[in-house]
């Protein structure tokens, strides 16, 4: 059965990426459901930790799946986006000062990290400009 281009066959996603060696930006889009992720492991994290409000790049290319929490991310030019359950974050801003984030509702952020190889395809489809 072929997938159709409707919201039921995709999951919303936001991709963080480097625009050059020092800046990062983001784009909104989607990834297909039933998409195989080429990963060897995953790990979970709770709480906000020490990186909230501190600029940092992603430590590796990774999917970040939010289970609980609502956050505002800020990229180097000051643009922001909201991340919450139901939106997959694809963190690929591995160079430069990176991004910041802060929890906007409550004080929890439960998430799963799925590291991906540098040559793996994320199947991300950007929204039309």
> For 46-63, how does the pLDDT look when each residue is reduced to its tens digit (9 = 90+)?
776 666 788 999 999 999
Provide the CATH number for the domain around residue 83: 2.60.120.10
Please tell me the distance from the alpha carbon of residue 75 to that of residue 2, in angstroms, as a whole number.
Answer: 37
Rounded to 10 degrees, the C-alpha dihedral 39/58/102/100 comes to: -160
Tens-place pLDDT, residues 111-122: 999 999 888 899
> 5 pLDDT exceeds 60?
no
**What element of type H or E holds 16?**
strand 10-18
Q: Count how many domains the chain has.
A: 1
When comparing pLDDT for 76 and 42, which is higher?
Answer: 76
**Cα distances (angstroms) measured from residue 18 to each of 36, 47, 57, 89:** 25, 26, 9, 14
* Residue 82 domain-assigned (yes or no): yes
- pLDDT tens, residue by residue, 62-88: 999 999 999 999 999 999 999 999 999
Domain that holds residue 105: 36-116
């Amino acid at each position: 059965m072929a997938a159709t281009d409707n919201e039921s066959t995709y999951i919303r996603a936001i991709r963080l990426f480097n625009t050059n060696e020092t800046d990062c930006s983001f784009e909104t889009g989607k990834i297909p459901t039933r998409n195989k992720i080429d990963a060897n492991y995953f790990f979970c994290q709770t709480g906000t930790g020490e990186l909230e409000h501190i600029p940092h790049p992603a430590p590796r290319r990774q999917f970040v799946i939010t289970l609980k929490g609502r956050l505002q991310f800020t990229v180097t030019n000051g643009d922001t986006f909201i991340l919450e359950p139901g939106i997959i974050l694809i963190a690929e801003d591995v160079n430069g000062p990176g991004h910041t984030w802060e929890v906007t509702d409550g004080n929890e952020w439960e998430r799963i990290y799925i590291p991906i190889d540098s040559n793996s395809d994320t199947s991300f489809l950007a929204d039309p400009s």
